[in-house]
Structure formats: structure tokens, C-alpha cells
Structure 1
């Protein structure tokens, strides 16, 4: 098997995809204790439960039983929260790779410089490449130029914002993916296989249709002020159903709430992005008006079925919500194998692609509006526009 060194491994979304494509994770680095417990429970190989800034590249290579230049691929998704340090980059005060103040991107680049894998994959939030806010992407490009100049490598990066649903994941989830080979070989991102004009998207029914609709798992009942309102919203809708532009009662102003408020899955469509830290009314929720079970969350992220997560409900939601869909990782891993490592042919079918189950059952019936919500019926102003909502006005005051 080809080998992988994994940074910012999380609960293993990237690693499971690369494993499906014939790679073995020789060493993983992850700080979060809950993620590390689950990594050890679900896969083999050393897990370094340490802060990436405090673990040396030599220690990572030693754990992987590799020397510099022997790793096939370096993978990882540096957390996006530390990008508030973008002021360093915007002012031209770029941190060197060994700077003790290093952010997560710079730490990834430091390991890349020292490990010198044959190829690397770095994934992140799409916003990293937004025009005018792309200091993070520019930091990566500048770091690669520095690495090439000091080590004689020829990493030439290729990047693209991809939607996991376009490759068969039953979830709309966009990620920025950056790929490069040590010898400068070109890389072409795979074309979309699913979507308009192509094969039909894999749906939540494809992913969940064989699972029990009432799982034996505690903590799935929706709680809070709005729990009894969710059953009055049709599949595939959110709180906008109960506005003057929806089909229900005018309980809210148009676009006055966040998109995921009372958002419900539809059987015949992909899921919306799974959230890592949802509030009590933050979806997507199951069409049976409850929270998603551990297995359902894993299915929507296309984790292998032999992965079973342990921990609190909040831990599992956070770990899965922060993960990369494993099918997307499998697709990218095969492209790296074929294009950059000359190791095999693309499979006829990906291992983690959900089975198409045919036409989904009819949507669940909606329930009448409970009497306790009727006092909310009335005229509600629509959102007045960007920068003029309640939150923005409150911050301005």
C-alpha cells in the first residue's frame, strides 16, 4: 500500500477516503482528545496526540517509520479559525516556516518542507480563496515558493473549490482542495459526475434508506422553544415556510433567521452541510422531526460503515461536522495515485459511493400549527438588506 502522513486528522474523514483508495496512514497528528480516542478505536497506526506546533517533523517521520522523501502523500486540513492572523500576510509580515508564532497553515508548510512527500493534498474552507480575502491561499503559495527554493523541490500547486455532491456524496459541501507533486507534474481535478445534465445526485434516501427511522439512540429528540414547530414544516424546507412568501403561516420575517433554522432534510435531495456546532433549532434535521443519529451523520459524510464513533452527542456532531466527506477524499486520492504517483487505474466504482436506492418514498405529512405559535401570526418585516439587519444594527450601536 502507498503511505500517507496525516496532519490535523480530526476524526479521520480524509484518512478513510485515502484508505479506500489503497493508502495506509503511517502517522497521524491530532490535538483533540475525543478525535484521538475515535481514531485509535477505528483504525490502526500511530496517532500523535499533540499540538502540531510542538511536535517536530523528525518525530512525525519517526512515528511513521519513514525518512524524508519516502512519504507518498501528506494530507491535512488546517483549522480555519486561526486565519484571523491574516493581518500578518496582508501587511507583508509573513511568518517564516520556523516562526514560533506560526499559524496552522504555516505549520503544515513546515512539515511539508521537512517531510518532502511525493505529493500533498491540503483542504480547507472555500473562503480561503475568496478574491480580496485570499491571504491564506497566498500564504500557501508563498510558502511553496520558499520550500522549492530552499530544498530543490518543484511543488506546483493546483487548486479548486469543489462540491462533494458532484462526486456522489449525499451532502452539499464545498471545500477548497490544493494538490501538488514534488516533481512538478501537472494535476487535473476530476470532472463532476453528478448534478444537472449528469447522473442524478445521490440523495439522503440513498444514504439513509436502509437505516431504522427511529434509532435506539438517546438525545435525538429535538428540544427547545421551537421543537413543536418543526413538524409543521415540509421536507426540504426551513423556517422560510412560515413567512409571507412561504406556504405556511406568517410567523417570521423573510430571511430574518439563519438558513439552517428549522431546516429539514428531503428524501429526494442531498443533505445540506452538516454543522459542527449547531444550536437547538439548527438543522438539518431528519424528516421524522428529530436530530440525526451517529450512523446517519456518518453516512452523510460517507464514512465507512465499520466506523463507529464514541463520545457525547455534542462531541460526535462536532467531529463529524468538522470532517471532510470520505468519498470526496477517495476520489481525490485516486486522482493523485493515477496522475502523480503512476500507481494503478481508477476503479469502476468508488468503495464509498452510496448505493442508488431508486425513487424515494413520498414526503412525510406535515402537522397543523400548534396553538401556542398562533400569537406569532402577523405582519413581519423582511430582512432590509446586507448590513442592515438586527445583528448589524446592534453591533453598530
Structure 2
């Protein structure tokens, strides 16, 4: 099976596809920082660094003869569909229409299979108009389609993260839900062995704190017992660190004394995910913009390091993120967990 990754980002979907045996020939991404990370980690994939509206079938030179084995996959930018983005969840948000570029390339390239990924909030935007359009377009192009909302935690990812997958094939095969695999992984099992770092750490490579003390950590380390990269942590002010100190595992901003939250115009309108401290014995909450939401380490009064967030997304330690700390955090938060992607592609390959 030959793959093309559209809206590739840092390459979480590509990594899962590769692990499932898909030969990812091409990827398309416009963000230069994500492109650098993608190139460094996927050296055998041809990356087209362009606005997708400028990409046509002619850019994929050796694909036409292999279209019977071709799968096009990707997740158009999803911030406009997210339930946490009430301001731009409408048809007026131009980014909500980028899926049409995905559809255009599917029509031009005529693959046998498609995998479309997005947030489940697409169901709740404009009375499902976007979701219905996507399904209708796939059917018009000859695909037998099915869709599922999958929780990454059911596929070995130490994170509760619900994602929509629309799977299509130009066969009569019924697209079924990927079977759950690997079992639940807790935050503690995922990050306990990682380097010990403090608020504002700027040292990228550091030694591991302990041996790999879980099966998950062993997989992430892949026999590496030396240094670990991407240990950068945002520097929070002393006021924010004080707020962290009041929050128990599983708690959030509601545990902070009101006199310490006076800079908020109306603190009662804070989202429940703001100032959330992770619980070590459970999978993490969703790793999105974890710096902005002030997601807190389970044991320390600080935010997560880039590597800790990457572990919670199921990126192996050998996968390096590039750019400034802000761009690294964005790449991790935007990515599809590779373990979840792997389960989807393995199931597709088994079905066909």
C-alpha cells in the first residue's frame, strides 16, 4: 500500500502508517517548522512544502501507475471544528473549508483508499454540514465509507483523545472499527523515567531519570538508555507556579484560591481543562495546546516538557521535534497519536 499524507504536520499520521506497513511516498505541509521536523524524521518521504491549493496531481510524479494500491490520508486543520473554539466554529471560518482541497486531490489522484481524520467536534459544527459534505463527496467519488470516533486511550496511547476517522475504499468491503489494542497506559507509566527538569528548562538533551520502568517506556526508548531530547519546558511566572501548588492530581483552576485569580475578568467562565493537573494512575486528558491551557505535571509545579507531551502522544523518543519551544509544543499538540494511526492503518490493510 502506497501512501500520500496531506496536511502532514510533524508526521504523526505518517509514522503510524509506516509502522503499519504503508510506504508513505509523499507528504504535503505548508508550515516551515513542521516541515523541518517532518523531513528530519521521515527522510525517505518526499515532502512538498507548499500551500495545498497550489498542489496538483502533477506533483506526484510516479503515483499514477500505482493508484490501485494508493491510500490518501490526512487531517485538514481542525481548530475551527474544536469544541474549545466557539468563536470560529462556523461556515464563515475559511479554514473550515480546507477539506475541499483534500477532496480535490482525491478526485485528481483517484486512490483506492482514503483515511480522513479530524476532531469529533465536526459533528457539532453548523448542524453537521461539513461532516455531511465530506461523506457525500466521498460517496460521489465512488468510495464505500464508514466513520468512527476513536479514543486514543483504547489503542495504547496514554491519553483520552477522541478523534473522528472516515475510512473509504473503492471495494465492497465493509469498513469496520479497528479493534482495541495494547491496553490502557497511565501518565505515570508513560513519563516516570524521563529526565528530571524544572520550570523553564532550556537544556534539550538530558539523561533519563531512571531505567525504563514500564512496557510502554521500553517501547518509547527502543533500547536507548543514554540521552533523551526535547526536554524544554515553558517558563511560568512565580504567580502561576503558586497557583499550581494548590491543585491536586485531577484538579483544575477551581482549586486555586480566588484571590490568586483576580487577573481573570470572569474566572467562572474558565474551561474545566484550564490549570488541570494530570493524574498519574490514569491516561492524560487531551494534549492540545497544553502550554496555553496550563496543563500541569502530575508531581511537579510546572508545565509539561515537550518530550513528556510527546510521550503522552505516543511519539517514540527517537522522534525529534525542531524549531523554538513554541513551535515544538504546537507540533506535538496538533499531531495524531502514532499508535492510534497505526491501529487504523493496520485495520484497513487487514480488511482489504
Q: CA 1:193–1:68 in structure 2 vs 1: closer, same or farther (change >3 Å)?
A: closer
| Paired residues for 1:9-158 under 5 Å | 9-44=8-43, 45-59=45-59, 61-62=60-61, 65-67=63-65, 69-81=67-79, 87=91, 103-130=97-124, 133-148=127-142, 155-158=143-146
* TM-score where L is the length of structure 1: 0.71
The unaligned stretches of length 5 or more in structure 1 are: 89-100, 149-154, 341-397
Q: Distance in 1 between matches of 2:161 and 2:49?
A: 28
Aligned to 2:195: 212
Match of 2:241 in 1: 227
Structure 1 residue matching 2:141: 3-state secondary structure: helix
* Contact 2:152-2:160 at 8 Å conserved across structures: yes
> Does 2:334 match 1:322?
yes
State the 1:191 CA deviation. 3.8
- Shift in Å, 1:219: 4.1
Matched position secondary structure for 1:227: helix
2:154 aligned residue (142, 160, 166):
166
Aligned equivalents of 2:34, 2:190: Cα separation in 1: 24
How far apart in 2 are the matches of 1:130 and 1:102?
A: 13
Name the stretch that deviates more: 251-260 or 160-169: 251-260
> Judging changes above 3 Å, is the alpha-carbon distance between structure 1 residues 5 and 206 closer, same or farther for their aligned structure 2 residues?
same
The structure with more radius of gyration? 1
1:281-296 correspondence to structure 2 within 5 Å:
282-296=294-308
Distance 1:139 1:311, change over 3 A: same
Q: Provide the residue aligned with 1:304 in structure 2.
A: 316
Deviations 1:124-164 (CA, angstroms, capped at 9, x unpaired): 0101123862111111122123323xxxxxx1110011111
Contact 1:120 1:181 in 2 (8 A): yes
Is the contact between residue 138 and residue 168 of structure 2 (CA under 8 Å) also seen in structure 1?
no
| 1:38 Cα deviation after fit | 0.7
Q: What's the Cα RMSD here?
A: 2.9
Q: Give the alignment's TM-score, normalised by structure 2.
A: 0.79
Matched length: 310
Shift of 1:235: 1.8
- What is residue 94 of structure 1 aligned with on the other side? none
**Secondary structure of 1:73's match?**
strand
Tell me how far apart the structure 2 counterparts of residues 9 and 254 of structure 1 sit (CA, whole Å).
37
Separation of aligned partners in 1, 2:254 and 2:63: 55
